[in-house]
Amino acid sequence: MPFLAHWAVATPSGDIHATLDALADGSARPGRLVGPLLPLLQRLGGEVCIGKAPDVVLLATAKGDLPLWAEAVLPGGDRHSGSPACLARQLARHFACPAWALGAACASGPVALAEAARLIRAGDARRVLVLGGDRLADFVDEGFAGLKAVDPDRCRPFDAARAGIQLGETAAAVLLDAATGRVQLQGWGQSLDASHLTAPTRDGGGLSAACSQALALGLVALPGLIVAHGTGTRANDDAESLAYARIMGGVPVVGWKGGLGHSLGACGLTEVVLAAECLATGAAAPGTVGYHNLGVPGAIRVLGAGLHVAPGPWLSTNAGFGGMNGVVLLGDRPPRALAAQPAALVTRAEATAKGWEAGGATGSWCIPAAVGILPRPTARQVTGAVDPSWGRMDAPCRLLVALGHLLKPWPSATHIVLLTDSGCLLTDAAFERGRREGVPDFQSFAYTLASTPIGEASIRLGIRGGGQVVLGASDREGRRMAERCIGEGAPAVLLARIETGVEPEVAWIERYERAPAPCP
């Protein structure tokens, strides 16, 4: 069973106790950590492993060490510096075990914890180190400002006067152990909104689906507390309030981003660690710094600044670009046992020099610009209809959506696992160049996440199961990941690898489903 054995955080307020104190007395403020990400992650990881090596390391991150990466993507830059895939390789060397960066934009924390739980439940690992970290840079400051999503004053989750996020840096580490720990990972859930790339579904339907999964797995009707995503944007907090009011009316809600800021892919793991510390020590939960008057449509009970006693289990929720949702339930009981489900590869498609190949059949899309480069299929070539909105999609999004079309149909609860090392390299480079030249292309900012192709595939193909992008993993490790998702009850998994902007480019997709039961 997955236990949270040891944990640690770093925030501008200090370590775990300093951070909880600063949140409780309302003095916590978003800020930056000092220095590069790798040594910080190595230190936090070392603290929680306590001298005994983990079997696997998972890094929850959206952009990795962005100040390094933003230099790396410029002409002449060192492409082996700062990206999530680079960090994964460095962590694998440091901890002497497999390490992957696992992303679901700002829901990376709970999604990495869900994957860690699946590793342990499948018997593939006994000790999984989950790290979370993202560094800020002008790249992301300007991107969010361009989306008009930043409150220049402060972050006020669920408040009537809220006007956006404030970015902040945090990092966190948790050791999940199969046998022992002070808090149990009692449930987890993942879902995709399939509605909009940067805005949540208005009614919070995607998020509430992930919450319901986590509660069902944890065998509880209601949690004692919701540690909400609470970014402080109008759209996010509105949608969250409706999600909670619908399925968990009356459960108290806290949000900590008024004190911590939004730390992108690190925020979820940071919030989980703070919650776990409170649950393990029986301490009261810090309330919502920056909150004064309720200003959301859903009837929820938001707890203001101060300390609040709440019984376990606690539900910690996050949502990210691409409509990716992740939720974990922290408590003192094990999750529901599941009967093992064997998986089978059902069908496969691959992009070729001019088009595609699937099950012996071939088709053409368009002739790419150069040898070793894959086609960038258009809506007309893939669906037979003109769709102007395809124009904004970058190469990895186009290839995933186009290949996905070939593998239809699937259940809407299908889970997407996207393997990549190159991520959105070309889009990152174009956005950073434009920004430095004073003409940032804000439309492409939402595409500067390696997980965005999953969001596009979800929206354009109607997929609502969970999703995760995995950087630094082999094809074999990806296939095992798909099998574990089926083993945990996913009706189908789309597993893809997409490498663009490197030579040669690669794009394939496979559909896995439950294997038919053997004859008695």
Partner 1 sequence: MDESLRSLAMLIITGLHLEDVTPEDIDPQAPLFGEGLGLDSIDALELALLVSRKYQVRIGDADTGKKAFASLAALHQFIREQQPSTKA
Q: Which of 60, 446, 463, 496 binds partner 1 (CB under 8 A)?
A: 446
Smallest separation (angstroms) from partner 1 to the CB of 447: 10
Smallest separation (angstroms) from partner 1 to the CB of 499: 23
Q: Which of 384, 391, 518, 520 binds partner 1 (CB under 8 A)?
A: 391
Piece in contact with partner 1 (CB under 8 A), picked from 281-289, 405-413, 442-450, 482-490: 442-450
* b/e burial code for range 394-416 (CB count within 10 A of at least 16 → b): bbbbbbbbbbbbbbeebeebbbb
Q: Which of 361, 439, 517, 519 binds partner 1 (CB under 8 A)?
A: 439
Regarding 388 and contact with partner 1 (CB under 8 A), the answer is yes
Nearest residue to 488 via CA among 126, 120, 59: 120
The CB density around residue 113, as the number of other CB atoms within 10 Å, is 30
Q: How many residues line the site for partner 1 (CB under 8 A)?
A: 22
Q: Which of 79, 94, 182, 196 binds partner 1 (CB under 8 A)?
A: 196
Residue 390's Cβ-count burial label (10 Å; 0-12, 13-18, 19+) is: buried
Nearer to partner 1, 365 or 512 (CB): 365
Q: Which of 92, 199, 247, 346 binds partner 1 (CB under 8 A)?
A: 199
CB distance 406 to 349 below 8 Å: yes
Residues 242-281 that bind partner 1 (CB under 8 A): none
Smallest separation (angstroms) from partner 1 to the CB of 197: 7
Q: Which residue has the tokens 């992108």?
A: 264
DSSP string, 46-69: HHHHTTS--SEEEEE-SSSSHHHH
Regarding 146 and contact with partner 1 (CB under 8 A), the answer is yes
User: In the structure encoding, which two tokens stand for residue 97, read together?
Assistant: 């075990």
Pairing of the two strands 127-133 and 171-177 = antiparallel
Nearer to partner 1, 281 or 443 (CB): 443
**What is the distance between the alpha carbons of residues 482 and 417, in angstroms, rounded to a whole number?**
7
Regarding 395 and contact with partner 1 (CB under 8 A), the answer is no
Q: Which of 15, 153, 332, 387 binds partner 1 (CB under 8 A)?
A: 387
Nearer to partner 1, 199 or 345 (CB): 199
Regarding 307 and contact with partner 1 (CB under 8 A), the answer is no
Q: Which of 441, 489, 491, 515 binds partner 1 (CB under 8 A)?
A: 441
Q: Which residue has the tokens 């951070």?
A: 19
* Cβ partners under 8 Å of residue 343, min gap 6: 482, 483, 486, 487, 493, 512, 513, 514, 515
Smallest separation (angstroms) from partner 1 to the CB of 391: 3
CB distance 164 to 298 below 8 Å: no
Smallest separation (angstroms) from partner 1 to the CB of 81: 29
**What is the distance between the alpha carbons of residues 334 and 485, in angstroms, rounded to a whole number?**
19
Regarding 378 and contact with partner 1 (CB under 8 A), the answer is yes
User: In the structure encoding, which two tokens stand for residue 309, read together?
Assistant: 């006693």
User: In the structure encoding, which two tokens stand for residue 195, read together?
Assistant: 């509605």
Smallest separation (angstroms) from partner 1 to the CB of 210: 23
Nearer to partner 1, 352 or 378 (CB): 378
Regarding 430 and contact with partner 1 (CB under 8 A), the answer is no
CB distance 313 to 251 below 8 Å: no
CB distance 71 to 77 below 8 Å: yes
Regarding 442 and contact with partner 1 (CB under 8 A), the answer is yes
Smallest separation (angstroms) from partner 1 to the CB of 500: 17
Regarding 389 and contact with partner 1 (CB under 8 A), the answer is yes
Regarding 142 and contact with partner 1 (CB under 8 A), the answer is no
Q: Is the peptide bond before 313 cis (omega within 30 degrees of 0)?
A: yes
Smallest separation (angstroms) from partner 1 to the CB of 444: 8
Residue at 443: amino acid letter: Q
| Chain positions contacting partner 1, by CB under 8 A | 146-148, 196-199, 378-380, 386-392, 439, 441-443, 446
